[in-house]
Each structure stands twice: as C-alpha cells, then as structure tokens.
Structure 1
C-alpha cells in the first residue's frame, strides 16, 4: 500500500512537472507535452531524467508531498534537462552533467522558494535560468562534450522516431503557405520545449486550448501584441522563430492575464500594456547577454511578471476589477467562476465577526454617512435607539431620560477581545443638552485583533462593568445606555476603528449575523451594514441547526440513500488539508470544501464526481445559516461550470473575462419548526436555478429536515438521503 502511494506520488510529480510550465496540472495536457519533448528523442530522455532526479531528491529529503505531486520541484529541472539535451550530443558524460544539473536546479528552486515566499512571490523559471546558464558556461571547459548535430539532420531524427509517416506529417505542417505570423506563433510555442518546428507548436496549442480557453486566447493576444509592437518599432520579429525567446510574450500574457490575477477586462488590458514593456526588456537583454554568448531564454518573462505581481501587491487600494487569484483552481476559468460566485463569501470569511452590541430589536437612527454627526473620517458608524409601534423613541412627552426606551438598557460585547480603553465619570445630559468638550461621553474601546477595535459611546455614568486590560467574551455585559457626551437624547454610538483611542477614525467594516425586520418580514444578514431607519436585532442560533452543521475534521458521517429502486450506504470523512481548509470526502475521493463559523455552514467548492451523493449535499446545503426565522430566504451564486454541459461552457469560457451569461443560483427558505420552545425538527427548502442570459432553464428542488437527534434528511426526486454523524473520529486527517 505504501509502495503504491509512493509510485502514485512520483507519477503525478512527473506529469505535473511538464504541465506546470503552462501553470497547469491537467494530465492530458501533460501527456501531450511529453510527446512534444520526445520529438527530439534525446532531449526528451534528458528532460525525463532531470524530472526524475529532482522529484526523487525532493521525496528523499522529505519535502512537502503536495508540492512534489504538483510538479513544483520538477518543472525547472525539466527545462534545464531539455535545454542541455538539445545543445549537446548524447553521451555518458552528458548524462552525468544532466543529473547534477538537475540537482543544482532543484537546490536553487528550494532556495528561491524560501527567499521569495517572504514577499509572496513565485520563483517562476528563475531556477531553470540559473541552472542552464551554469551548465552552458561550465561546459566550455568540459572538452568531452560535443555540440549536438541533430537539428542539422532533422529528417533522420524524425525517421528514427516515427518512420516515413512522421516525416510526412512534419512536412505537411512545415510547408503550410501563408499566415507567416501564425507559423511564428507555433514555433514560439514549440520553443518552450526547445522544439524548433511547427508540429510541436500545434500540439502545444491544442493542449493549451483543451486545458483552458482563457489561457489559449491570452497566448494569441500576447503573441500578436508583441508582433504588432515589433512591426511598429521596425524590429525583425521573424528572428524570434529561431532564437528561443518568442515564447516570453506568450507565457507573460498567460501568467499576468489569467494565472496570478483573476481574468477580466482589466487583466487583459494590463496584459496588452505589459507586453511592450516585455519587448523592451527582451531587446535590451539580448545585447547584454551577447557578451557571454548565451541566450536570455525566459528571463524577460520572469522580470516582467515578477515586477507586475509585486507592483499589484504594494497597492494601497485594492481594485475588484484587477485582483489577485486568492484561491487558485485547476484552470483560470474555474478561478474566475469561483471569484464571481464566492467572492462575497470569501471576503466575509476574512472578516473577524463583530456583531451588534445590543440584544433585542433596535432601530438605526443614524448610519454611515449620517446627516448629523457621522461625517468625513468618522462617517462609518451607527447610532442605535429603541422605538415603539409609532416610531417614537420615548413615552409620555420625552422630557426625562427615563422616558426614552433605550436609556439604561444593557450593552454587550460585540465580539471577544481585550478592553483597550475606558472613559467614565462623565455626567449624563438632560434632554436637549450636549457636552461639547467631552463629546464621546463615557466610552469603551475593545481590541479584537491587530488594527481592529470597536468603540461604544454615550454610556450611562457609573454603569461600566469592565476595566482596561479585562478580557471579554462575546455577549458579556459591558455597561448601560446613557446620554453622556455630545448626545441630546439617549442613544448608543457604535463604530469599528483601527486604533485603540476613543474618537479614532472609523473603518468601513460590516457587522456579523443580524436580522432586519421590515414590512412584517425578517431578513437574515450574515455580513452587512445596517442602514438608517432599519429595525435590527442579533440573530439567535437554533440549537438543532448548530448540532447538525457542526462539522469537525476527524469526524465521520454515515450516509444512506433510499428510494423505491435502491438503497445505498456510504461513509464519509471530514478532513482538512495542509492549508487548514476543511472538506468532506467520499469513497471516490470527491471533495466538498466548506468553512463553518458561529453563523452557519458555507460550501465554497466541489471537486470530483458530480453524480455522487456528496454533490447532493453540496447543492442542498450550499449556504445554510444556523438561525431559524420562518420565511427567511438566503440566496447565493454557485460556479456555473458545475452545472452546464461542455459545449455551452466552452463558449462561456471564451467570454467569461468579459461577460458571464451562464449562472447557477442557490436559494434556501426556512419553512417550518414544529415547536418554538422545544423543537424536534427544523425544515428548509432549497432550490438551484440554472439560467442562460437571465432566463431560467432548469430548477432542482430539495427539502431538508434537520432532526434533534443530529440526523439530517434531504428529500429530492422521490429519494431520501440521510446523514448521521458517527461517534468514532479519525484525527489529523489531511488531503492527499
């Protein structure tokens, strides 16, 4: 069993070492690239030797198996082996040089991984450059090596590989008339694997198209943008067909336009702007490196992409139209779809959850950019009051503090933290009076994290229960509402800020898990910013939902599907990967990725068999809050590539950076609870709607019943799928 795992790890490492050159882990694409590498047999052999050397070394030395399987330690060694195998005649001596060259490239890879990781930058193909340059310069003293003559006798090599048939295919592609620029495009693609023929480029282009429509389109855009710039400046672009540098523009375009950023109109625009810069870098470096009589290879690509990525990371204001790929998927398309459908959930996941500082129903008398005091640097704040059915804040005539419904009401910690500052001893004002000098009044500042604080102000004199340095949990009693400071009538001021001082500038930060009551209906908000005039209250969790949605890594789930025709039982595991991301996995190794917090369970991604029972769970419980308010609806978007066929999805892939016309929408409605005080079950209805250009084409319906016993039932299409937690647990599970 252990031996099989080692073999599987090595197999994945070898395949991905080829496809990683194009930022891919697609196995079919990898096989096509292996075929391309063997169009020059000895180059292919030495490339494979280098890949095996680097990956076996990484495994023996105990490096991260996940990175080994991804080909992270092998692709630079592969390029070094291919380049060396192309330049020199095959021999025992060259084999030794290739092995040690692969070791050198591997160690440079590891070193650069550690150095550049501090700046969150990739090492790209810099290890290959250092490795191939070291070998080329060193071999000037290695007289036992001879330069390759194989490109002189190309037909002999092709005949040895595939006989007359391969020669005929080669001639057919080489003798294509017209489209000179397209021929150079194919030659540039082939040059990535040191192949100087059109056939190699066509195979790579076909594999690139199969792997990613976005990457393929960007390869053309990158090439032709550089081609036009060469024409504009009077440079000779045909030279790129035989100098092994034309691919720089293709790789730069794919990396900067789709891999390290989310593909979009803006990323395509910046790719077009970056390519002339890459041309300038290329032209200048050629003159510099001609002194040493060595090729610049992929150096322009590395410089241009690293400069671009680093510049993006140093931005003060992030732009949603040009954003880093925060969760990288198998293809640029999947990264894009995930960004559009889950960006709000992922953005919210990064927020530390800060709730309301009150309990029960409260009205917002002033919200962000309020017309009275929430202005300029202090505009992101809320004022809370309590109103009656007539929207009045007071009883009688409102002449006294005690007439106001919110006066002396308890105030609670909105989240866990440490008391950073306390101000007390400021008298409460009479109605209509204000304290201009001590305008914040009695206040508390709580530290929730680095550069994250909340401030609660206008508290009642002498009511504060905490002192500076105290630790508080969410919901702990802090004080009571008063009328101190610049407050003509009792209310509670609440704001989020980055510094620990009373009166600090405010942050535009959402509040967590609350409800809004309007027109007799209740709206549940996971993260949001209450608006002026809204009636809001903290959302209360339902115990049944808390138990059912509490999925702990190490726990197993028993799953049973019953219908009139079948009865299927499975056991699933809840695991986590090396990045601490949690997922449910079944026997087929399908995975439903999720995260859970105090407010609910949220599925973020699915990989594997879409006909599996696990995919049913993913669809039925995609976004489930732990609170129950009858009639409440939750809506979310889901990645369209999980629901549509390949043909129409291919068209969508090409258009995706500019327009997404395929959509899948999730809606959950909270419909029934058998008892308000001691319920035995909670029922919800889930729907997945598939739309094309805004028109609904298909719907899937699920009825979900959460039982007090911990069992969850999902009813769909005359099937009943039940999920029960098992008592046994398996600790320290990680993704393989």
Structure 2
C-alpha cells in the first residue's frame, strides 16, 4: 500500500517525481533502482553529513540538468543522473578541502556528468547495447580533481562546525566493537561511496539485502576476493588502496553476477573470472594513477565490466550455447527478476491459440520491437510499433510537423483475427508532431477478445476513425479504424500487443503472426508461415496485400 501511495505521489507531483529520481540515484550506486534503498543509504550519511550534503547538491544539479535538457522521463527515473552526481559529491568531499571555491566546481561537474550521460546513452547504450555504468562520474571527477589540485587548503567551511555535522562519530563507537575482518568488509562496502564507515557499510548492506539477496552474496564475495588479492600481492599496501580494489571487485561481481547476465553456474564462473581480472586491473590502476596522484575511483569496475559484456555481445549465439546470455538493457532490474531469464524466455515460447495476421495492408516497418524501453517494457514488453517508410526510408514528407506529412497517417488498420470488440476509445485528439499526449497515453484504441483469454490491443488510432463498437463481432482483415497519432505518440504509427485481459494496459504476452513476408529488398522476400517480426524489419501481410 505504501508503494502504491508513493507511486501516486510521484505521478501527480513534480516535487515527488524529483525526490524519487534523487533517491533512486543513491540506490543505483549499488544497482538498486529503488527509492527506499536510496533512502536507507542516505540515512547512513548521518555519520558523514558533509559528504551527504555535497552528494545531494551534485545529484540535484545533475537531475535538473537532465530535466532542463528535456531528457526522457524514464531515463531520469532510472537513477543514472542522480547516481553520477552523488558520486561526484562524495569524491569532492573526500579528496578536496571544503572551501567555497569547491561549490561552483561541484555544480559544473554535476552539469557535465549529466550531459556526458546523455551522450553515452546515444553512442554506447543504443548503438552498442552496453550500459553507461559510472563512466561519466569517473571522467568528470578526474577532470575536476586535476583542475582543483591547487585549491587552497584553508580557510575551510569545516571551521567551527556544529557537533552534529562532524563526521565519524558513529564510526568511533562501532568500529572497536567488531573484529577487524568484519570491519574491513563493511569499510569495503562503504568505500563504494568513498567513505570508511562501518555504519554506512551496514546500511548499504541492509539495502542490498532488502533489494536483492543474490546481489548481496555476489557483492560480498567480490569484495572479499578483491581485498584478499590485494593483501596477497601487495602486503603492507595502503588500506585505502586495498578498499579501492575491494569495492571495484564487489561492483564487478554484482554487475556480472546476474544483473547484466542471466544467472547460471556458467555465468557465475564468468563473473568470478571477471572479479579476479578486476583485482589485477585494479591494483595496476591504483599504482599507475598513484604516480600522478590521481585516485583510481571506479575505473577498474567500468573497464572490466564493459570488456566482459562486450565480449559476450560480440557472439551472442555462441555464448548462449554455453549457458551465457546477456539480459537486454530494457529488462535490467535485479537478478531475482530474471535470475532464470533464459528459462523464462523459453517458457514463454509462443503458446497462443489465436492465429494472428498483421493488422494492415502493404509493407510496414517495425520501428520498435519487444522489450524496448520506455514504452515496450513491463506490462507492454511484448508489443510492436509499425510505421510506413518511403523508398528513402523516411517516415514523412515535408517538414514532418503535420500529421498529414506522415505516410502512415490515415491508412487502414485491420482486425488481426476474428473476435468480439471488448473496448473502444475514439475521442482522443491526434497530436501535433512531435508533441505527445502523456495524459491519454494509449490514445484511441480497440481491444478485441479472441477467446481463450487472448485479447488484441491496437492503439494510437486516428480520432473519430474507428468504425467498430463494443460488442461487435469482427472478422480477420476487417477494417476497424485508421492509423493516427493519438496518445503517447510523437509520430503516426500502430501499436499492437496481444494481452491476457480486456483491461487497458493489461499484461502483454509473447505472440507470433502467421503468413507474413519479410522484405529485405525488392527481390529478396522471405515468406513466414509464422514468426515474430523483429525490429527494423519491413513486413507485409501475405493475406491482405493481394498476394
């Protein structure tokens, strides 16, 4: 119930949405995209209040930059921007004297990190299918530390601080009560936030346990391996360097231990190999960057994690055969959600009863396939978007600021199979491109009941174009309306999903279409008896295009 109330607050209030993104940013530091976990972690900083305040400031700046630069809401909600900003604040508080000159630098760094995240999403996540991780934080922080290397050490804002703002008071109480080995583990976890605090480590570990037991086990194991490797190969090395290697290994272990890769015994071995690699790379970076007095931060975590994910992404079919399967970035949540993702996909092999035809005449382009954020995720994970392109692969003529410019606008939309019309909405206005209607996200739609708890949902239809009514019986290929640009749509297209109930936004289900063609060129056409259209394919309905 509390979760539902929070969700309603976030949806109805700009301030609630902002606080949600802020808290998710703190949680995302340890791969917990959850505001409650972020709050738990933030509470830990009563033992390091100045660091917490600077992290809040930098995180706020990064999120505001994302909002002002019109970043998609789901990306802001993902916690990426808040996470990077918070980490910058932690590092500045740890490595630099707290002078007033620090504040403008912190604000500028927050802005730069947000812009760099947007750049990397376009060029790394979308094009190469690799996560951004904390690359922006590392690069921007290195730049900031180099720029502020000669910042005056006095006077500082720490002079005459009230007692409750002094760091480490809880640490002084807790640390002597614990064995050194246990304290080191908590310090390793807290070092992720650039703190050496048993209390912060405890609360972070509590948050991890509440969010994901699997991530907790991998995180502790990775951290222990990291600090053990450091102790073996660098006896007498600095404690801070040991913790740096340890927390980088912990993050590698969490990332590859069921977060970005399906959890199997093979992927567990792969993650362990990556952790050992991360330990070696981490020690090398600590020593190398130490020569120029620059901290290694989370560099080895980013390098090793991206390298191991890139290797898997280069040969997905081969690695799948040996039990290694990347989780699509659109699915990334926590290991428990898809700990057996490969089995989940196999279990969801198409088991539909209804034989579906594509809901249009002619050749259409699959602009968005299954499991693609933001709109094809969660309940709508198994949806498709279809558009029409010209021979130059353009979806509109002219400027594209009028719906009539779009080749798909107004084209017939067909019933994909026989059934009874369950629900109809026809009154939503068509948007002026590229503006979308967030209030009526489904726009005009038709839901058809095919029996066997299978329902077709077809949305974003043209206003007042729907020619069927609730209760009507429809046949395969019967006209139901025209393609439009209503609802959460920036350009004319058809949204289709097969779902489990007649309610709007019900859980979608894996679906396949029958008797359609894939057009690879004018002469190279593949006829599919059944299949699932893939993103970027040109497809036509064999039964409805006159062939």
Query: Which category describes the TM-score, using the shorter chain as reference length?
Result: 0.5 to 0.7
Find the aligned partners of 2:14 and 2:500 in 1 and give their Cα distance: 21
Find the aligned partners of 1:577 and 1:25 in 2 and give their Cα distance: 26
1:162 Cα deviation from its structure 2 partner = 9.3
1:211 Cα deviation from its structure 2 partner = 0.7
Q: CA RMSD in A?
A: 4.4
DSSP-derived class of the 2:279 partner: helix
1:67 Cα deviation from its structure 2 partner = 0.4
Find the aligned partners of 2:310 and 2:244 in 1 and give their Cα distance: 26
Find the aligned partners of 1:28 and 1:545 in 2 and give their Cα distance: 41
Structure having greater relative contact order (Cα 8 Å, sep ≥ 6)? 2
- Match in the other structure for 2:33: 25
Find the aligned partners of 1:113 and 1:51 in 2 and give their Cα distance: 18
> What does residue range 123-272 of structure 1 map to in structure 2 within 5 Å?
123-143=132-152, 146=154, 159-161=163-165, 167=169, 169-178=170-179, 180-233=180-233, 235-236=235-236, 239-240=239-240, 244-272=244-272
1:45 Cα deviation from its structure 2 partner = 1.2
Find the aligned partners of 2:256 and 2:155 in 1 and give their Cα distance: 36
1:95 Cα deviation from its structure 2 partner = 1.6
Contact kept in structure 2, 1:20 and 1:72, CA below 8 Å: yes
Deviations 1:225-278 (A, max 9, x none): 234434554545772477644210100100011211012211211122122211
- Match in the other structure for 1:696: none
1:114 Cα deviation from its structure 2 partner = 2.3
Gaps of 5+ in 1: 356-415, 419-447, 450-541, 559-573, 600-736
DSSP-derived class of the 2:36 partner: helix
> What does residue range 485-524 of structure 1 map to in structure 2 within 5 Å?
none
TM-score, normalised relative to structure 2: 0.62
**How many residue pairs get matched?**
392
Find the aligned partners of 2:495 and 2:268 in 1 and give their Cα distance: 33
- Match in the other structure for 1:553: 459
1:184 Cα deviation from its structure 2 partner = 1.3
1:585 Cα deviation from its structure 2 partner = 12
> What does residue range 327-726 of structure 1 map to in structure 2 within 5 Å?
328-345=331-348, 544-545=450-451, 549-553=455-459, 592-598=507-513
Contact kept in structure 2, 1:58 and 1:73, CA below 8 Å: yes
The structure-2 alpha-carbon separation of the partners of 1:290 and 1:597, relative to structure 1 and needing over 3 Å to count, comes to same
Which one has the bigger helix percentage? 2
- Match in the other structure for 1:6: 14
Contact kept in structure 2, 1:16 and 1:69, CA below 8 Å: yes
1:158 Cα deviation from its structure 2 partner = 9.6
- Match in the other structure for 2:300: 300
- Match in the other structure for 1:478: none
- Match in the other structure for 2:81: 73
DSSP-derived class of the 1:553 partner: strand
Deviations 1:126-167 (A, max 9, x none): 111111111111113444x649797xx9xx98941599xx94
Find the aligned partners of 1:307 and 1:31 in 2 and give their Cα distance: 32
Which one has the bigger strand percentage? 1
1:323 to 322, 325, 330: 325
2:122 to 81, 90, 114: 114
Find the aligned partners of 2:255 and 2:91 in 1 and give their Cα distance: 22
Find the aligned partners of 1:231 and 1:202 in 2 and give their Cα distance: 23
Find the aligned partners of 1:18 and 1:590 in 2 and give their Cα distance: 30
1:103 to 89, 99, 111: 111
DSSP-derived class of the 2:318 partner: coil
Find the aligned partners of 2:294 and 2:34 in 1 and give their Cα distance: 33
- Match in the other structure for 1:288: 288
The structure-2 alpha-carbon separation of the partners of 1:108 and 1:2, relative to structure 1 and needing over 3 Å to count, comes to closer
DSSP-derived class of the 1:551 partner: strand
Contact kept in structure 1, 2:248 and 2:301, CA below 8 Å: yes
1:102 Cα deviation from its structure 2 partner = 0.7
Gaps of 5+ in 2: 1-8, 367-447, 471-485, 515-547
1:318 Cα deviation from its structure 2 partner = 3.1
Contact kept in structure 1, 2:460 and 2:489, CA below 8 Å: no
Contact kept in structure 1, 2:459 and 2:495, CA below 8 Å: no
Matched, 1:279 2:194: no
